[in-house]
Amino acid sequence: MQLMARVKLTDEQISEFKQQLVTAATRLFVKNGYAGVTMRAIAKKLKCSPMKAYRYFGDKDEIFMMVRTAAYLSFAESQQKAYFSKTSALERLVEIGVAYFQYARENPLQYRLMFEFFQPDPVTYPQLREAENESMKPLHTVVVELINQGTFKAAPDPDIQTHVIWSAVHGVVSLGLTGKLSKHVDPADVEQAVRNVLFLGLAIPEGQTERMTALEHDYAAKAD
């Protein structure tokens, strides 16, 4: 009996299949966790053979990396769009914050994959680390701009200020996604309050020039 030759997919078909696999795997990883997903389960979701999945992805770790990288790149795109939508640094910061909350609300699965899961052997996948860095660049860039123009204090340094803002916003988002915010408060009001508190904490008071407080001086001394 003569065996039929395997049909060769076009580049467009391969790209479409990979996208379908990423979409299916995203849902499975969030629902079942990393350990609860197998190549067979992914193939079953796509109604294809496991061998077809293995043909384009080496193993489950690679698929996990792909879905998380795709999520970070999507998130990075939304942050970059927010950054370039305005010209002043302060307006950019506001837009980046709004875009952060909006992305999490509209893409809860991708958001959870980015921040609730640990990547096995992350050193093997530099593209994932690069995507993570890209997602943080708009916020870090605008923090540097605000420091340079004298709107934000110079200490702590931009990296720490970026993480302070990110941590606060991420906390509100995570509480919202898991239903932990009180039903007596409007999430939008909490989001606005967080933005206000962060600005008051990092900004130089109007009418004053940059000056080191005792705490900031102590921080700078320890850094040296």
Shared domain for 43 and 105, answered yes or no, is no
Q: What is the pLDDT of residue 96?
A: 95
Q: Determine the Cα–Cα distance for residues 193 and 180; give it in Å rounded to an integer.
A: 17
Q: Could you please report the per-residue DSSP string of 71-134?
A: HHHHHHHHHHHHHHT-SSHHHHHHHHHHHHHHHHHH-HHHHHHHHS---SSGGG-HHHHHHHHH
For 176, the 3-state DSSP assignment is: helix
- Of 198 and 135, the one with more pLDDT: 135
Q: What is the pLDDT of residue 207?
A: 55
Shared domain for 154 and 121, answered yes or no, is yes
- Of 7 and 104, the one with more pLDDT: 104
Tell me how crowded residue 3 is: count the other CB atoms within 10 A of its CB.
5
Shared domain for 50 and 85, answered yes or no, is no
Residue 2 lies in a domain: no
Q: What is the pLDDT of residue 196?
A: 87
Residue 1 lies in a domain: no
Shared domain for 34 and 98, answered yes or no, is no
Residue 63 lies in a domain: no
Residues 30-46: tens digit of each pLDDT: 999 999 999 999 989 88
Shared domain for 42 and 142, answered yes or no, is no
Shared domain for 39 and 147, answered yes or no, is no
Q: What is the CATH number of the domain that holds 214?
A: 1.10.357.10
Say if residues 64 and 124 touch (Cβ distance below 8 Å).
no
Report, as an integer, the average pLDDT of 113-125.
81
| Burial class of 168 by CB neighbour count within 10 A (0 to 12, 13 to 18, 19+) | middle
Q: What is the pLDDT of residue 48?
A: 86
Report, as an integer, the average pLDDT of 122-143.
91
Number of domains in the chain: 2
- pTM as predicted: 0.81
Residue 3 lies in a domain: no
- Of 181 and 75, the one with more pLDDT: 75
Give yes or no for residue 206 having a pLDDT over 80: no
Q: What is the CATH number of the domain that holds 43?
A: 1.10.10.60
Residues 148-170: tens digit of each pLDDT: 999 999 888 999 999 999 999 99
Shared domain for 205 and 118, answered yes or no, is yes
Say if residues 68 and 119 touch (Cβ distance below 8 Å).
yes
Say if residues 202 and 144 touch (Cβ distance below 8 Å).
no
Where residue 112 falls among pLDDT bands split at 50, 70, 90? very high
Shared domain for 145 and 202, answered yes or no, is yes
| Burial class of 103 by CB neighbour count within 10 A (0 to 12, 13 to 18, 19+) | buried
Shared domain for 52 and 34, answered yes or no, is yes
Shared domain for 116 and 203, answered yes or no, is yes
Residues 66-109: tens digit of each pLDDT: 999 999 999 999 999 999 999 999 999 999 999 999 999 999 99
Shared domain for 185 and 152, answered yes or no, is yes
Give yes or no for residue 192 having a pLDDT over 60: yes
Q: Tokens standing for 89? A: 């640094």
Residue 4 lies in a domain: no
Shared domain for 31 and 86, answered yes or no, is no
Domain ranges, residue 172: 68-223
Residue 6 lies in a domain: no
Q: What is the pLDDT of residue 75?
A: 97
Residue 39 lies in a domain: yes
Residues 51-69: tens digit of each pLDDT: 888 888 888 888 999 999 9
Report, as an integer, the average pLDDT of 192-208.
82
Residue 185 lies in a domain: yes
